[in-house]
Amino acid sequence: MFGCTTLNLGCLGGVMLNAPAHNPCKPFLIPSKKPLPLLNSWKPIGSWKSSFSVKTAVAAVDSSDPTETEEQAEKKKTYHFLVANAKFMLDEEEHFKELLAERLRLYGERDKEQDFWLVTEPKFLDNFPNITKRLKRPAVALVSTNGTWIKFMKLRLDRVLQHSFEAENLEEALASNPVNLEFEKPENWTAPYPKYEYGWWEPFLPPKTSSV
């Protein structure tokens, strides 16, 4: 007698009936009216689907909207500076005047807007106590939006302190405290070039509207 193996065909949507007596190995299958759905055809339905779509859309809109903090950060600009006491910067350093004058001349030839200034007793120094405690007063700062050039000037001037800060506008960045600069004239001037004239730095001061 030959053996038979009965297969479970329920997953095919059929219903197993008793096999006929003359051939027990061939069961009859009657198709089901409602076949079982395939797993990969399942989709979210009803309110859950609607909620998912709304949340996704809201998240997409929120992610593209800048926050108030980001807007404020975009308005601020970074200013780089070198600072030292006024006598060194304006009366003793041998190359400072020539370096600034040459850069200003170059900007004029290229029709480029000036991006560097000299600030006497700058107000932003109040935010740098570690610098002010090492600084003789009155102080003068060379301020620029060009960080690469400030690094170059640091190497040329050497005995200056370097840092940077952020400000919302030029007026805030270049604000200064009133100060009267006075330098004693040396009794004997031995250098092969004439001594700097008092006030040579005035063309490099901030615009009058920026001085506070």
- Looking at residue 4, its pLDDT comes to 46
The pTM of this model reads: 0.64
| Per-residue CA distances from 52 to 48, 81, 117, 132 (Å) | 6, 53, 56, 58
Question: Does any domain span residue 125?
Answer: yes
E strand or H helix at 77, and its extent?
A: strand 77-85
Closest-CA residue to 86 (of 155, 126, 142): 142
Question: Does any domain span residue 51?
Answer: no
Question: Does any domain span residue 161?
Answer: yes
Question: Does any domain span residue 105?
Answer: yes
The pLDDT tens digits along the chain (212 residues) read 444 444 444 444 444 445 455 555 455 444 555 555 554 544 554 544 444 444 443 333 344 445 545 555 567 899 999 999 999 999 988 789 999 999 999 999 999 999 999 999 999 999 999 999 999 999 999 999 999 999 999 999 989 999 999 999 999 999 999 998 988 887 777 777 777 888 999 999 998 754 44
> Considering its fold, how many domains does the chain have in total?
1
Question: Does any domain span residue 92?
Answer: yes
Closest-CA residue to 18 (of 27, 31, 7): 27
Query: What tens digit of pLDDT does each residue of 3-19 get?
Result: 444 444 444 444 444 54
Strand order in the sheet with 161-167: 116-120, 139-144, 77-85, 161-167
- Looking at residue 112, its pLDDT comes to 95
- Looking at residue 12, its pLDDT comes to 44
For position 99, which CATH number holds? 3.30.70.1860
State the residue range of the domain holding 138.
75-181+193-210
Q: Which amino acid is at 189?
A: W
Question: Does any domain span residue 63?
Answer: no
Handedness of CA 9, 12, 18, 20 (dihedral sign): negative
